[in-house]
Structure 1
Amino acid sequence: MGFPVDPHSEHRRHCRESFSLDQWNQTTIMERMDHFQLRQDQQTLILREIQQHLGLLPPAPPVAPMPSEPSAPADDATPVAVPSTVAAEDPSYPPEEPTT
């Protein structure tokens, strides 16, 4: 059992998945693109706030923040009562007779 002649050519696994150079580059590029998009969105928001403050843009309507995860699954959601547009008849009173 001795030392390998070329230790750099010995196959080692530091994690369960081995990445190729292309996979590693793609992962790195996607992370940078996500960071770039987030930074660009923040800068656009700041620019719009400055333009609104200076009166260059009309005030934007308030937008409710969207939750990142739904609070409850759609199957477990409680039904919302929708008011009917048809007037309900009251059975305790006799119907009025039509006039001719």
Structure 2
Amino acid sequence: MVRIRLTRMGKRHMPFYRIVVVDSRKKRDGAYIESLGYYNPLREPAQIDVNVEKAVEWILKGAQPSETVSNILSKAGVLAKVHQIKYAKKEKSDEGIG
């Protein structure tokens, strides 16, 4: 299964995280398929930088975000965009039936 999760970077006691697409069987900091952005929790407020188009593309392909990444993507507006795309298609197909 393909997952979207965090991989840890940075020095000891100063972590930041990359948001990556990875096979679920790989190690936390192992090789990844694609990097979607980064998350720095030490900044106030937390710094989030996500490539929205790539993230939406991967979620629509079936990649499952981890719980933490799901919260981060929600704050970045990615999940709202995915919801809008999925249900806009459904509404268009429903209009053709009736």
Structure with more of its chain in strand, by fraction: 2
TM over 0.5, shorter chain: no
Question: Smaller-chain TM-score range?
Answer: under 0.3
The structure with higher relative contact order (CA 8 Å, sep 6+) is 2
Normalising by the residue count of structure 2, what TM-score does the alignment of the two structures yield? 0.27
